[in-house]
Chains A and B, each alone.
Chain A
Amino acid sequence: MVASLLLRQARRILLTVLLGGLLGATLVRLGPGFGVDERELDSRLSAASQQAIRAERARDSNVASFYFRYLAGLVHGDFGFSRSLNRPVSELLAERLPLTLVSLGYGVLGGVSIGLALALLTVWWRAPGADLAPAVLSGLCLAAPAAVIALVFLWLGAPSRWAIALVVFPHVYRYAKNLLVATSQSPHVVAAQAKGLSSWRVLWAHVFTPAAPQLAALAGISVSLAFGASIPIEVICDTPGVGQLAWRAALDRDLPLLVTITVLVALMTLVVNGLADLSLAAWKPGAAE
């Protein structure tokens, strides 16, 4: 059961990543400004050098041939060469990916922890108006663009990775709160309360644990949200990560860089979603279907 799901997930991930890369390459190829290289205006270059630049550009003008060459290179660990930054893409990623992964790790873990903790507190502490502060805070974070949250962090001089947590947390809080409130009203919870179990035990064993698989599925959504938020946050806070690289690649129409980032991001999101589905299937067979 889990093995077949694993196989299906792997096939889906592979196909989606390949299609995503092709889509990215096609869009860049069709975009205005493609094929224009400012090096051609450099009068210091000889006619032969300029001819070589044009030939290099012409090779990439066919999307299909570019993409097949790109995939063949990928198999050998060659991600291509970034023209805008004049460096191999693998080098750029090796330099920037760790920083973004650490930020995403902090952001996702921080956001999920804050969201879950506040949701649990809201369900446990049932006094009227108990959820007012978390609701207002999550509402504010949900209503502010990620770029504005980044600006606030920039003004305060706070680490930008916590800005990602503030973007992730309201989504987790709202989903987790609704789920936990719904679970806490189910008959088995009422029966456990009637038997006189302590409120913490009821919350942990009878509310949180049954809802855990659905909460685990939040991980996939959180990673996607966090990466999306990391783009404006890294640009505004001037953090040299992959988010900032994606922004520069898009503005400079740097085809190899943009395709690699698209493939990488799609792969990351799909793998995390796939892992969430697998954990759900292992926990509750049939639920992931």
Chain B
Amino acid sequence: MNLKQKIALVVLVVACAASLGAGWMAQHSYAEQSREFISVPPSAQFWLGTDELGRDRFARLLYGTRVSLLLAPAAALLSTLIAGLIGGAAGYLGGRWERTVTAGVDLFLSLPWLFLLLAVRALLPLNTSPVTSVMITFLLLGCLGWAAPARIIRAGTRTLVNSDYLVQAAASGVSRWRLFWRHLLPNLRPILLAQFWISVPLFVLSEANLGLLGLGVSEPLPSWGAMLRELENYSAVLQNPWMLAPAVLLVIVVSCLQLLLRTEESVAC
């Protein structure tokens, strides 16, 4: 790990710690409306000012960071598990399974990621409770994001299946299950880990895009995507530049994730 990566790691740890300690750090709740402080500038009471409903922007930013930084890895874990299951089985079993999975992957990858996400998200209920909307958004990311990793995992599994030690193990009479769990899966771990880490920033960005299009997390629960919607009001942004804080934090966090990914990408390719 080089110096840049160490700095990136520190920034991520600080962001995670701040979001987890939101209840302790923020003086107000993310949904609490202070009617006498509508759209006020930063002060000792409201570190990033308040929005047009009088809600503390700093508290919303911390809680929004928590939503994005906790649920994007959860969605990445889900998509990696699905990809591992589908891609691993296709590469291990080969033949008809492999052809079917390849066709499915081709179908998923023929549609741009954001279009697929948008179409499927719009088909699910939009007028749900905030917590349900968070679950729907991130479950959707996890369930739809398996195709690209599955292709890489299938290729990795195929290479391993044809490797000398696995052929030798099979020739020695090791059962298919034992071969899979004892010899194949542990060696697939670096690819699975790389795919997991590659998915995290992708899902954070996807949530932000969906949120800005009005298809993400419902109010009053904050998320980076939902907070970015405020930026559509250009004149307000000019007068209150601190409104850019969610965008700046998002870019910093995703940049840090990308910096840490450099080593993972070499495993993924």
Residues of A in contact with B (beta carbons under 8 Å apart): 12, 15-17, 19-20, 23-24, 27-28, 30-32, 139-140, 142-148, 151, 154-155, 224-225, 227-229, 231-232, 235-236, 246-247, 250-251, 253, 258, 261-262, 265-266, 269-270, 273
Give every chain A residue within 8 A of B122 (Cβ-Cβ): 31, 250-251, 253
B139 close to chain A: CB less than 8 A: no
Cα distance A262–B123 in the bound complex, in angstroms? 14
Q: Given A250-B122, A253-B123, are A139 and B209 neighbors across the interface (CB < 8 Å)? A: no
B213 touches A235 (CB 8 A): yes
Cα distance A237–B263 in the bound complex, in angstroms? 37
Cα distance A224–B114 in the bound complex, in angstroms? 10
Out of B106, B112, B119, which one reaches A227, CB within 8 Å?
B112
Give every chain A residue within 8 A of B208 (Cβ-Cβ): 145, 147-148
Give every chain A residue within 8 A of B206 (Cβ-Cβ): 145
B119 touches A143 (CB 8 A): no
Give every chain B residue within 8 A of A146 (Cβ-Cβ): 114, 209
Which residue of B119, B213, B251 has the most chain A CB atoms within 10 A of its CB atom?
A: B119
B85 close to chain A: CB less than 8 A: no
Give every chain A residue within 8 A of B113 (Cβ-Cβ): 228
B247 close to chain A: CB less than 8 A: yes
Q: Which B-chain residue is minimally distant from A252 (CB atoms)? A: B122
A23 touches B251 (CB 8 A): no
* Interface residues of B, count at CB 8 A: 39
Residues of B in contact with A (beta carbons under 8 Å apart): 103, 106-107, 109-115, 118-125, 201, 205-206, 208-209, 212-213, 225, 228, 231-232, 234, 237, 247, 250-252, 254-255, 258-259
B119 touches A145 (CB 8 A): no
Which residue of B121, B125, B208, B209 has the most chain A CB atoms within 10 A of its CB atom?
A: B209
Give every chain A residue within 8 A of B251 (Cβ-Cβ): 140, 143-144, 148
Give every chain B residue within 8 A of A261 (Cβ-Cβ): 115
Q: Which A-chain residue is minimally distant from B110 (CB atoms)? A: A266
Give every chain B residue within 8 A of A232 (Cβ-Cβ): 114, 209, 212-213
Can you sample 27 A-B contacts with CB below 8 Å? A20-B111, A24-B119, A28-B123, A31-B122, A139-B259, A142-B258, A143-B205, A143-B250, A143-B251, A143-B255, A143-B258, A144-B250, A144-B254, A145-B208, A145-B225, A147-B213, A151-B212, A155-B237, A231-B114, A232-B213, A246-B119, A250-B121, A251-B122, A262-B119, A265-B110, A269-B110, A270-B110
Cα distance A224–B259 in the bound complex, in angstroms? 25
A147 touches B209 (CB 8 A): yes
Give every chain A residue within 8 A of B247 (Cβ-Cβ): 144, 148
Q: Which B-chain residue is minimally distant from A142 (CB atoms)? A: B258
Give every chain B residue within 8 A of A270 (Cβ-Cβ): 110
Cα distance A258–B240 in the bound complex, in angstroms? 39
Label chain B's interface by main secondary structure.
helix
B234 touches A231 (CB 8 A): no
Give every chain A residue within 8 A of B254 (Cβ-Cβ): 142-144
Extra contacts, 15 of them, besides A229-B114, A258-B119 (Cβ < 8 A), are A23-B107, A31-B123, A32-B123, A140-B255, A142-B258, A143-B255, A144-B247, A145-B228, A147-B209, A147-B213, A154-B234, A227-B115, A236-B212, A247-B213, A262-B111
A265 touches B213 (CB 8 A): no
B209 touches A145 (CB 8 A): yes
Q: Given A32-B125, A227-B115, are A145 and B250 neighbors across the interface (CB < 8 Å)? A: yes
Q: Which A-chain residue is minimally distant from B235 (CB atoms)? A: A155
Cα distance A225–B205 in the bound complex, in angstroms? 14
Q: Given A31-B124, A140-B251, are A147 and B111 neighbors across the interface (CB < 8 Å)? A: no
Cα distance A23–B115 in the bound complex, in angstroms? 14
Out of B112, B118, B119, which one reaches A269, CB within 8 Å?
B112
Q: Which A-chain residue is minimally distant from B269 (CB atoms)? A: A178
Out of B118, B252, B255, which one reaches A231, CB within 8 Å?
B118
B110 touches A246 (CB 8 A): no
Q: Given A16-B103, A147-B213, are A266 and B111 neighbors across the interface (CB < 8 Å)? A: yes
Q: Given A24-B119, A32-B124, are A147 and B228 neighbors across the interface (CB < 8 Å)? A: yes
B212 touches A16 (CB 8 A): no
